[in-house]
């Protein structure tokens, strides 16, 4: 596909855009797993060739009998303004597991690229019949550093970058000129950093998970799939509300990301989508109550001594290496090591067997269902399934 033929499939008219050009926030560190950015705010993913059976049956494209549209249409969202499309985007790149997961939920083919492939946790799809994503050929855009030239090259293969341009400027070290140069190829940016509300540069509208999901559904012209997911989610929320115990019986949890040498990046439970399952389960925020600042805002760390002083009821460990483990592997490897540690072994959570995987920072609608149910099982001993796996599969595959 030539650049000219690629651009001829769509018209991009960015109007009313409010992309802020703030300076680079320093603090990217390695997480020791080769991802090149272990600070927890660039979770990535992979997915090429999903087995969800969507393809042409998704209703996209120029057909008149699906959700797709043969006429031009526009979608408006901060901070990118209004984008106009003369056809439904077919290929795309995503930030990480939030927008990427939304696309899969909407029956789309997986993104061609994400920030970090090890942080798009496609193993969550193992819970859903006939839904899978193969990450083997997916490009990791932040494997070393974010290079605008790589985006320009990729723009010949993708119709849209589903990521917040402000994040690329403020966390990736770009300037507005880099964004403009990439968009001049005909491939627009569409995204809003929804996972955290602790960035000072994010002074525009925050979206909830399902508000963002609805916007992407407009882009892919999959409003019916979105409505089906929203209805399923409402039913799921009723199930969750029914199992949450009274407030005085809920634990205080501490969410951390291992930083090496017995130190951790602390995450306080905020309003971003990265904390949705913990808010919905009504847990207390041990770090927030102790006055610890969220890592996203000040890039600080804490150690076992700090954790012991706070002594949370439950300790939740984030990070791709932990999410890649099964519950049994996590207990046998990570928790067992803490039980043999001089200081960690004194933590109430360790002594009571209340150390669990903390979930990713980025999550979309499918991942959120899986993660919330998993958290309910860990924290509240829930044994039953809280959502219908087959119903999720049916929506993804267009059988609803």
CATH number of the CATH domain containing 35: 3.40.50.1980
Q: What is the pLDDT of residue 41?
A: 53
| Per-residue pLDDT tens digits for 223-244 | 999 999 999 999 999 999 999 9
Pair (188, 83) in one structural domain: yes
**Which tokens sit at 45?**
């993913």
CA angle 323, 329, 331 (to 5 degrees): 95
Pair (197, 73) in one structural domain: yes
Q: What is the pLDDT of residue 164?
A: 97
Pair (194, 252) in one structural domain: no
Pair (294, 182) in one structural domain: no
Pair (152, 256) in one structural domain: no
| Per-residue pLDDT tens digits for 376-389 | 999 999 999 999 99
List the domain range (segments joined by +) for residue 71. 3-234
Is residue 369 in a domain?
no
**% of the chain with per-residue pLDDT over 70:** 82
pLDDT at 62 over 90: no
Task: Say how many C-beta atoms besides its own lie within 10 A of residue 252's C-beta.
Answer: 18
- Diameter of the chain measured on Cα atoms: 66
Q: Which residues on neighbouring strands pair with residue 302, listed in sequence order? A: 264
Distances (CA, A) of 333 to 81, 228, 340, 381: 47, 40, 11, 22
Q: Are strands 73-77 and 161-162 parallel, antiparallel or unpaired?
A: unpaired
Pair (94, 191) in one structural domain: yes
* Confidence bin at 222 (pLDDT 50/70/90): very high
**Which tokens sit at 177?**
């000129």
Is residue 258 in a domain?
yes
**% of the chain with per-residue pLDDT over 90:** 76
- CA–CA gap between residue 122 and residue 110 (Å, rounded): 10
* Confidence bin at 298 (pLDDT 50/70/90): confident
Task: Say how many C-beta atoms besides its own lie within 10 A of residue 274's C-beta.
Answer: 28
Last residue of a domain, one of 169, 200, 234: 234
Contact in structure between 154 and 6 (CB atoms under 8 Å): no
Last residue of a domain, one of 234, 268, 285: 234
Pair (17, 46) in one structural domain: yes
Which pTM does this prediction carry?
0.84
**Which tokens sit at 239?**
């199930």
Is residue 371 in a domain?
no
Is residue 152 in a domain?
yes
Contact in structure between 142 and 44 (CB atoms under 8 Å): yes
Pair (279, 197) in one structural domain: no
Question: Which parts of the chain are beta strand (E)?
Answer: 73-77, 81-85, 93-94, 113-114, 139-140, 161-162, 252-260, 263-267, 284-285, 302-303, 314-317, 355-357
| Rounded (10°) CA dihedral 221, 93, 294, 172 | -130
Task: Say how many C-beta atoms besides its own lie within 10 A of residue 76's C-beta.
Answer: 13
Pair (50, 111) in one structural domain: yes
Q: What is the pLDDT of residue 10?
A: 38
pLDDT at 70 over 70: no
More confident residue, 32 or 137: 137
* Confidence bin at 163 (pLDDT 50/70/90): very high
Give pairs for 279-282: CB < 8 Å, separation 24+: 280/237, 280/240, 280/244, 280/372, 281/240, 281/244, 281/250, 281/372, 281/375, 281/376, 281/379, 281/380, 282/244, 282/247, 282/250
Distances (CA, A) of 347 to 20, 317, 340: 43, 14, 12
| Per-residue pLDDT tens digits for 320-375 | 999 999 999 999 999 999 999 999 999 999 999 999 999 999 999 999 999 999 99
Q: Are strands 263-267 and 252-260 parallel, antiparallel or unpaired?
A: antiparallel
Is residue 400 in a domain?
no
Last residue of a domain, one of 202, 234, 266: 234
Helix axes 389-396, 97-105, angle to 10 degrees: 80
- Give the count of domains, the chain: 2
Contact in structure between 243 and 235 (CB atoms under 8 Å): no
| Rounded (10°) CA dihedral 357, 195, 396, 322 | -20
Pair (310, 222) in one structural domain: no
Is residue 270 in a domain?
yes
Q: Compute the average pLDDT of residues 76-102.
A: 96
Pair (187, 206) in one structural domain: yes
DSSP state at residue 136: T
Pair (108, 215) in one structural domain: yes
Contact in structure between 82 and 74 (CB atoms under 8 Å): yes
Is residue 380 in a domain?
no
Is residue 320 in a domain?
yes
């Amino acid at each position: 596909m030539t650049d000219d033929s690629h651009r001829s499939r769509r018209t991009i008219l960015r109007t009313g855009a409010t992309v802020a050009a703030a300076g680079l926030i320093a603090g990217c560190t390695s997480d020791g797993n080769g991802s090149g950015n272990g600070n927890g705010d660039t979770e990535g993913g992979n997915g090429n060739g999903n087995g969800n059976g969507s393809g042409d049956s998704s209703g996209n494209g120029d057909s008149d009998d699906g959700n797709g549209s043969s006429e031009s249409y526009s979608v408006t969202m901060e901070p990118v303004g209004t984008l106009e499309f003369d056809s439904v985007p077919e290929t795309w790149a995503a930030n990480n597991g939030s927008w990427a997961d939304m696309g899969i939920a909407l029956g789309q083919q997986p993104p061609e690229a994400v920030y970090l492939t090890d942080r798009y946790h496609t193993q969550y799809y193992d819970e859903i019949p006939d839904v899978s994503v193969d990450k083997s050929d997916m490009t990791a855009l932040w494997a070393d550093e974010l290079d605008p030239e790589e985006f320009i090259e990729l723009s010949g293969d993708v119709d849209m970058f589903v990521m917040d341009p402000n994040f690329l400027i403020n966390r990736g070290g770009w300037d507005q000129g880099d964004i403009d140069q990439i968009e001049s190829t005909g491939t627009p940016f569409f995204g809003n950093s929804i996972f955290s509300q602790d960035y000072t540069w994010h002074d525009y509208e925050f979206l909830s998970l399902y508000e963002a999901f609805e916007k992407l559904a407009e882009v892919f012209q999959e409003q019916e799939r979105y409505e089906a997911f929203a209805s399923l989610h409402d039913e799921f929320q009723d199930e969750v509300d029914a199992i949450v115990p009274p407030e005085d019986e809920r634990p205080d949890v501490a969410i951390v990301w291992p930083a090496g040498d017995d130190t951790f990046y602390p995450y306080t439970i905020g309003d971003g989508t990265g904390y949705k399952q913990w808010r919905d389960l009504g847990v207390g925020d041990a770090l927030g109550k102790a006055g610890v600042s969220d890592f996203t805002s000040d890039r600080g760390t804490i150690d076992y001594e700090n954790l012991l002083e706070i002594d949370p009821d439950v300790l939740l460990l984030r990070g791709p290496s932990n999410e890649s483990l099964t519950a049994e592997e996590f207990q046998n490897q990570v928790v067992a090591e803490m039980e043999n540690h001089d200081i960690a072994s004194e933590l109430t959570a360790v002594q009571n067997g209340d150390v669990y995987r903390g979930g990713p920072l980025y999550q979309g609608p499918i991942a959120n269902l899986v993660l919330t149910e998993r958290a309910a099982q860990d924290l509240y001993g829930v044994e039953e399934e809280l959502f219908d796996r087959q119903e999720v599969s049916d929506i993804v595959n267009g059988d609803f």
